[in-house]
Structure 1
Amino acid sequence: MTKVRIAYLVCTAALIAVGLGAAPPAAARHMTHVVVPGESVQKAVDSAEPGDTVLLTTGTYRESVKVTTPGITLRGMGRGTVIEPATTKAANSCAEGGNGICVVGTKDHDVEGVTVASLTVTGFTRTGVFAMATDGLTVRNVTAVENGVWGIAAERSVRGVFRGNTARDNGDAGLFLANTIKEEAGASDTGGTVVEHNRLEGNRIGITVRRLRNLAVEDNHLTGNCAGIFVVGDENKPKAGALTVRGNHIARNNKSCPKTARLDALQGSGIVLTGAEDTLVTRNRVIGNVGTSSMSGGIVLFKSFVGTTSERNRITDNVLEGNAPADLVNADTGQGNTFEGNSCRASRPTGMC
């Protein structure tokens, strides 16, 4: 007898119909697979079918979990449901890659409608939650702490929702979204991915959006990172951009991070756009981001490290205070960038406040 406890969820209307002697409707029966510490999460996930939920009770699970079935929900019971690296040899490609939870489709077919929610992933050498080739993925109320590279990351994915998560003290970005990681390519359209109401603290970068278009980064709280929000493009076509950064609270991202092969040293950067176009940055509150790197400042336009300029970006109606070397910094030579209606005291060059 399997250790995974299975609870059947049956439509109330169907039960009433049966009680009255009528034939029940031909509706799918979705199941909840309940897992307790010591049992295999992967086994429950592998047995789940579209529409099912795998529910992890409070406690610690030492394994990596790979999800390839569409439409399933992997859910804990809050921060007390913890997924950590296994103490034995890696059992699947997710573990072999140094990741905690992987939601992956194939080269030819995205995995659709998966939800990961209400749990903690910590201590993985690469990423807490990693997604590739997904459509309609939801990651909500996940706490990703002290993972080696990214807290939560997604590539080659569309129509995602990343809401109410906490990513803290991860080696690179707390939340990382990209077109593709392993090759150079033009920016891809996310189909309206939403990144909202997340808390990013103590990472190298709070939120990185790399080579993407058509998404919204809204109402997030970022503090204690080396940089708050990075929108990154390069020489590939189409450019990164055509996205919105709105209503975020970005304060004191003054941690110091050394230079890497791809990026200059970071400290005191609120919002940075490099090689981006047609991006709206509006109604953000950017306070006390202070540093001495080339990209320090409240809201910064900076040409990419392959020399691509930023063009036609609109920086409007933001509140900036106490950022240094300035609240607004335009170190880019791109055309059509505008700074209007911002509340600030100092800019480089002068005259933008």
Structure 2
Amino acid sequence: MKKSHIAYMACIAALIGVGLGAAPPAVADHRTHVVFPGESIQKAVDAAAAGDHVLVASGTYRESVRVSTPRLTLRGMGPRTVIAPAATKAADGCADGNGICVLGTKDRKVEGVTVAELTVTGFTGSGVFAADTDRLTVRHVTAEKNGVWGIAQERSVRGAFRKNTARANGDAGLFLANTVKAEQGATDSGGTVVAHNHLEGNRIGLTVRRLRNLTVADNHLTGNCVGAFVVGDENMPRAGALTVRDNLIDRNNKSCPKTARLDALQGTGIVLTGAEDTLVTRNQIRENVGASPLSGGIVVWKSFVGTTSERNRITDNVLEGNAPADIVNTDTAGKGNTFTGNTCRASKPAGLC
């Protein structure tokens, strides 16, 4: 056996013994399944039981991976563990051209899955797509150059999305929704957290659609057409009751053309549309400049079916160099929206700074 391979195996052993942590007696029977280049991640996932780890060595793996086993951890060895599309569609383990799918059912959510420490790139759908999950964790994942979303979740609760990078994806870098393909009211996300992510060069950095009870904190959103989109509509319950705080949202000046659902986009920090009871606070929002109807630092907008935004609190943000204005409120019919304590120079209408 070559010395380099012996060293590689020693590194894997160290990761299993130290990086993953020694298992306490109650879970001593949980196994770690190690996957090397040329082997199938999906086969290891299929062989794993609830609570097991699948550790994927550095290298490129051309396949999609479907996870439905509760409490499974799928972990790479960092950005050089790369999951990319298979050469043939028949090898696709997920529907709709996604890279990693974490899927429960409408009747039974898959619980406690973790996806971590890897790169997912080049898929026609999304890098990571999850549905019907409870306590999904996605951390230290790089999702780049995927056709739709970088990392996406629907019909799920209590998720944690931390320290990921989503770059140059076709739609949102991070996309969280009640449901993707149906019209219905906002759902309670159970305290889902989106924190310390870097979202760059996507159409939209972060989309939160028809959800309630969620925190977006300490993220960096830059170089997108829109930094963050909080979306509601006429369905009940209304979207909102969430917090967007302590984020750096700068230079989201990429230009995106008009679509069937949205006007052309450019130069937007945060948009609230058809949302209620949302707190936007302590964000730094700088140099978002564009000529789109939605351009500006913080923009409060009627939903695209005319539903007003109500009782949102825009407070203690620092806004600088955004155009056409730092704060834009086109939803003047919306009741109870307040703008207090913000550091800014210009607003539409005047008087909001």
Give me the TM-score of the superposition, normalised by structure 1.
Answer: 0.93
Between the aligned partners of 2:304 and 2:37, the Cα distance in structure 1 is 47
Supply the distance in 1 between the matched residues of 2:328 and 2:21 (Cα, whole angstroms): 58
Amino acid at match of 1:169: A
Check whether the contact 1:75–1:119 (CA below 8 A) recurs between aligned residues: yes
For 1:246-269, what per-residue CA distance to the aligned partner results, in whole angstroms no more than 9, with x for missing partners?
000000000000111111110000
Change beyond 3 A, Cα 1:37–1:186: same
Corresponding residue number in structure 2 for 1:133: 132
> How far did residue 27 of structure 1 move?
4.9
The aligned counterpart of 1:20 is none
Q: 1:18 — aligned with what?
A: none
Q: Distance in 1 between matches of 2:165 and 2:177?
A: 19
- 1:84 aligned partner, one-letter code: A
Once the two structures are TM-superposed, the CA of residue 28 in structure 1 deviates from its matched residue by 4.3
Partner of 1:314: 313
**1:21 matched to which residue of 2?**
none
Q: 1:146 aligns to what?
A: 145
Structure 1 equivalent of residue 65 of structure 2? 65
Shift of 1:89: 3.0
Are residues 1:168 and 2:167 paired? yes
SS of residue in 2 equivalent to 1:43: helix
AA in 2 matched with 1:341: G
Contact 1:71 1:114 in 2 (8 A): yes
Work out the CA distance in 2 between the residues paired with 1:267 and 1:205: 10
Residue in 2 that maps onto 1:114: 113
One-letter code of the match for 1:316? T
| CA separation of 1:244 and 1:92: change in aligned 2, threshold 3 A | same
Aligned pairs for 1:1-353 (under 5 A) are: 27-92=27-92, 94=94, 96-332=95-331, 333-353=333-353
Paired letter, 2:288: N
Give the percent of matched residue pairs that are identical in Structure 1 and Structure 2.
75
Q: Deviations over 1:122-164 (max 9, x none)?
A: 0000100000000000000000000000000000000000000
- Which residue identity lines up with residue 44 of structure 1 in the other structure? A
Change in Cα spacing, 1:27 to 1:222, as seen in structure 2 (3 Å) is: closer
Aligned letter for 1:31? R
1:40 aligned partner, one-letter code: S
Gaps of 5+ in 1: 15-24
Q: How much does 1:320 deviate?
A: 0.2
Q: Distance in 1 between matches of 2:120 and 2:208?
A: 21
Give the 4+ runs in structure 1 shifted more than 3 A.
5-14, 25-28
- Alpha-carbon distance in 1 for matches of 2:23, 2:211: 44
Quick check: 2:63–2:93 contact (8 Å CA) kept in 1?
no
User: What displacement does 1:91 show?
Assistant: 3.0
Offset at residue 50 of structure 1 (A)? 1.2
Question: 1:66, 1:92 within 8 Å by CA — same for their partners in 2?
Answer: no
Separation in structure 2 between the aligned mates of residue 89 and residue 102 of structure 1, nearest angstrom: 15
**Superimposed CA distance per residue, residues 76-135 of structure 1 (whole angstroms, 9 cap, x where no aligned partner):** 0000000000002323550x4110000000110000000000000000001000000000
**Residue identity opposite 2:40 in structure 1:** S
Letter in 2 for 1:33: H
Give per-residue Cα distances to partners, 1:214-243, cap 9 Å, x unaligned: 000000001000000000000000010000
Q: Specify the code of the residue in structure 1 equivalent to 2:180.
A: I
Q: Which amino acid aligns with 2:292?
A: S
Code of the aligned partner of 2:198? R
Work out the CA distance in 1 between the residues paired with 2:215 and 2:183. 23
| 1:319-346 Cα distance to aligned partner (Å, 9 max, x none) | 0000000000000020000000000000
Matched to 1:89, the amino acid is K
Runs of 5+ in structure 2 lacking a partner?
Answer: 1-8
Measured on the aligned residues, the alpha-carbon RMSD in Å equals 1.8
Q: Is the CA contact (8 Å cut-off) linking 2:62 and 2:85 kept in structure 1?
A: yes
Cα deviation for residue 13 of structure 1 reads: 9.8
Deviation of the 1:11 alpha carbon: 9.9
Matched letter for residue 100 of structure 1: G
Q: 1:12 to 1:265 in 2, by over 3 A?
A: closer
Counterpart AA for 1:246:
R
Aligned residues: 338
The 3 A distance-change label for structure 1 pair 334 and 36 is same
| Shift in alpha-carbon separation, 1:13–1:199, aligned structure 2, 3 A | closer
How far apart, CA to CA, are the structure 2 residues paired with 1:220 and 1:317?
A: 17
What is the TM-score normalised by the length of structure 2?
A: 0.93
- Rounded to whole Å, the distance in 1 between the matches of 2:72 and 2:216 is 25
| AA in 2 matched with 1:160 | G
Residues 287, 322 of structure 1: 8 Å contact kept: yes
